[in-house]
Amino acid sequence: MRRVEQISTNQFVWMLFIIITSVTVLQAPGILIKTGHRDAWIAVIGGVILDVMLALAYAYMGVRFPKENFVQYSSTILGRGVGKVVGLCFPLFFLLACVLVMRSLGMIIHTAFLPKTPLPIITFSGFAVVAYAARKGIEVIGRIAEILGPIYFASAFVVSFMLMSSADIDRIRPLLEDGLEPIIRGSFYIVSFYGICIMMAMFIPICNRPENGFLAKFGGVTMGGFLVGVVVFFSIVVFGYKQAINKISPSLALLRTASVSHFLERFEMLWMLTAVGAAIMASAQLIWAFSVGLADTFGLKDYKPLILSSALVAVVLEETSFPSQPMNAEFLQFTFPCIAFFVETVLELLLLLFAFVLKKGEKNSFRSINFWPFRRNKKQIRV
């Protein structure tokens, strides 16, 4: 019998924040600026709004099917055969996201800090740490996230202060120069990265307050969107959007520009320590979710024996799927958003629709969702 893991709402929030920022900050800013031009920072806000709307569906399904993640309630709704096929799409998507995160992290470390170290050595070392963290369980990952998350979030304010002297606000003017189309396209692009927070469907059943799923998602995506917005906004006002597009990592380039009175400079190593730790914890969450999803799909009693093999599969995919950085960037810009839209939005909304049509799950469960942090439900759902 699998030991029941449990996380708090606070851990829930910070784990979502870390996974959003790690998936998005390392990969999306340059492509988002290319899509939205000087209005890309507005697209960040649009992406947050879209993702919060999507969170309602996941929060509702979490309380309609208590103690079940989306891999499990796919079978409850659609039956064992079709349900397992649909449910398997979610853990496979987590595996893909993990590969992309570690690929981007490895490329940044290799290009900016360790150019003489072979990239496979960097990625293999990273996945070894990821597998170790994932095997320790989600409770350990959650406790680390409670420490690492606030530090990462506070860095947005510190970086903003240090970049003030280098910023030229005229570089974001005129607003809406190309109309609304770039903002709309940018919003739908960035929400594919925010949408990795469908991880909330794996966390709700093990949260000590599952009715707080929406609040956790709202807090995580709002703080994550703020950090991404800071990176995108200052990339534009410091470099200009045409130059920011050509940066391998706009966030790293900003840190190299930041200074305090030209006395304290080159903070990128301190930031990278936090960013690497966050990316490792985000990848550990993804490997954990992939392994738990496989265990639930095939009826295994424990997911931990799958951790090491899952990490090895991710290493092989990372090394063989993207032999060059341009191919990785092309995949992120064109292919990944389509896959993400199908898994994050289409599948979940179809499950929601079939749950209504087939009358599966608990009725009137929407009322149990907590939309206010100070509300106390008389009847709480307990794990």
pLDDT digits (tens, 9 = 90+) for 86-126: 999 999 999 999 999 998 888 888 887 888 999 889 989 99
Query: Considering the chain, what is the average pLDDT of its residues?
Result: 88
The answer to whether 53 and 195 have CB atoms below 8 angstroms apart is: no
Residue with tokens 């920022």: 21
- Per 3-state DSSP, the chain is made up of helix, strand and coil in percentages (nearest 5) of 80, 0, 20
What pLDDT is stored for residue 379 in this prediction? Answer: 45
- Residue 363, Cβ density class (10 Å: 0-12 exposed, 13-18 middle, ≥19 buried): exposed
What would you report as the CA-atom Rg of the chain, rounded to the nearest whole angstrom?
A: 20
What pLDDT is stored for residue 368 in this prediction? Answer: 76
Domains of the chain: 13-362 (1.20.1740.10)
241 closest CA partner among 315, 159, 177, 303: 177
The answer to whether 256 and 266 have CB atoms below 8 angstroms apart is: yes
Mean pLDDT, rounded, for 336-344: 94
> pLDDT of 147-178, one tens digit each?
999 999 998 888 888 888 888 999 998 888 88
What pLDDT is stored for residue 381 in this prediction? Answer: 41
Mean pLDDT, rounded, for 46-53: 94
What pLDDT is stored for residue 383 in this prediction? Answer: 36
Query: DSSP letter string over 20-40?
Result: HHHHHHTTHHHHHHHHHGGGH
What pLDDT is stored for residue 374 in this prediction? Answer: 53
Element (H, E) at 270: helix 268-298
Q: Is the pLDDT of residue 78 over 90?
A: yes
105 closest CA partner among 364, 342, 282, 257: 282
